[in-house]
Structures are given as C-alpha cells and as structure tokens.
Amino acid sequence: MGSESISGDDEGTPYVLLLQGINVGGHSRLPMTVLRDILTGLGFSQARTYLQSGNAVVTTSLTAAQVAAAAEKALGEALSRDVGVVVRTAAQLVGVVEHAPFDPAVDPTTKHVMFLRQASDAEKLGILPRETMGSEHYWVSGTHVYLYLPSGMGRSKLSAWVTRRLAGTGSTARNWNTVLALRDMTSGRR
C-alpha cells in the first residue's frame, strides 16, 4: 500500500469513516475487503465496513483529523485518485441521531443526513426559495444537514440543490438507516 502503520490501539476512540463517491452508480469501485485491508494496514483496530458504499468503522488513539488525513492518503495511493473522507466519533454519531429534527414515525427512507467537514460549509446553502421545496425540508445543525425527502433522494429537487451548493466542500450524504446502523456499530450496539 505504501502507507506505514500509524496506530494500533484497541482502547482508542471508535470512529466512523464516510468515504465520498465510492461505489455510486457503478463508478469508483472499491471492494469493502480492500477498504478493510487499507484501514487495517494503517494500524486501525477493529476495521469493519457497512454496505458497499464506503462506510467503515475503526478504533484508534488518533484524532479525527489524523484519521481522515491518513485514510485519504492511503486511499489516494491505492486508488490513484483523491477520495474524500468525513470522520465522526461514536459520540458525534449518537448526537446526530438524538438531535435529528425528523418525526420518528416518518418512514426512515425519506430521511437523510449530509455530513460536512466544517460548519462553515453550511453557509454555502444560503436561502432556498420555499416554493422550490414543496413538501421537502432541510435543517442545518453544525456540521450536519438533515434532509426530509418524501419522494426519495433520486427525484428530489431539494437534494440536487443542496448537492450543487455543497459541491467541493467535502460533504457526503447517508440515508437514515445507514446513519442508525453506523451509530450502532460505533457504540457497540451491534
């Protein structure tokens, strides 16, 4: 891989790594076994993946910024292209779920979260004319943008608008079921 091992602490902090643009629409293929090997090669403990879309959980004594930098460097070397990585701690992911503005009774497939690298990225959203949203809604909370998309992400005008506005910021979206599963993986519920 070309990257040296940087941490192997089983007693460290559990982190979730959210890779940008991996295995989306048949592009940027990365088998999850390869992703686990890359993360294990960095010395991260307990490297696990969820689904095939670039979600991983690791444990390390490094900071979130160090985890992101190491993973981005190793993935860049392995794939010969830049791959952005957004990192959250287990506690942060619990907070994402606990502070969600969604009605718990609403179908989870209508709920999504955009994970931002920094809170200032949300300023790029500006003001969306209400008439363009219809029944869709978004809420900004620090480094997260919550999206309620009753017709799904693929047909959503709001999702397309948010994605265009956040282009180049290092943001990545996950559906609510994935957010819940990653929270469970990082907090030992799974």
- What CATH code is carried by the domain that includes residue 166? 3.30.70
Q: Does the structure show a pLDDT above 50 at 40?
A: yes
Does residue 7 register a pLDDT over 50? no
Among 45, 62, 89, the domain-final residue is 89
Q: Which residue has the higher pLDDT, 36 or 7?
A: 36
Residue 1 lies in a domain: no
Mark whether 84 and 135 lie in a shared domain.
no
Residue 17 — very low, low, confident or very high, per pLDDT cuts 50/70/90?
very high
Q: Are 165 and 144 members of one domain?
A: yes
Asked which of 89, 104, 137 is the last residue of a domain, the reply is: 89
pLDDT of residue 130: 60
- Domain contains 97: yes
Same domain? 85 vs 98:
no
Structural domain ending residue among the three candidates 89, 110, 139: 89
- Torsion-angle region of 37 (φ positive above 0: left; ψ -120 to 50: alpha; else: beta): alpha
Please give the tally of structural domains in the chain.
Answer: 2
Residues 49 and 111 in one domain: no
Q: Does the pLDDT of residue 3 top 80, yes or no?
A: no
**pLDDT 10s digits, 49-76:** 998 888 999 999 999 999 999 999 999 9
- DSSP H/E element including 20: none
Q: Which three-class secondary structure string do you get for 136-188?
A: CEEEEECCEEEEECCCCCCCCHHHHHHHHHCCCCCCEEEEHHHHHHHHHHHCC
135 plus 54 within the same structural domain: no
In this structure, the answer to whether residues 26 and 52 fall within a common structural domain is yes
Structural domain of 157: 93-186
As a whole number, the mean pLDDT across the chain is 87
pLDDT at 2 over 80: no
pTM score: 0.88
Residue 127 sits in the same domain as residue 161: yes
78 with 139, same domain: the answer is no
Q: Vertex 148, ends 146 and 152: CA angle to 5°?
A: 120
Q: Is residue 104 part of a domain?
A: yes
CB count within 10 Å of CB 66 equals: 14
Taking every pair of C-alpha atoms in the chain, what is the biggest distance, in angstroms?
Answer: 52
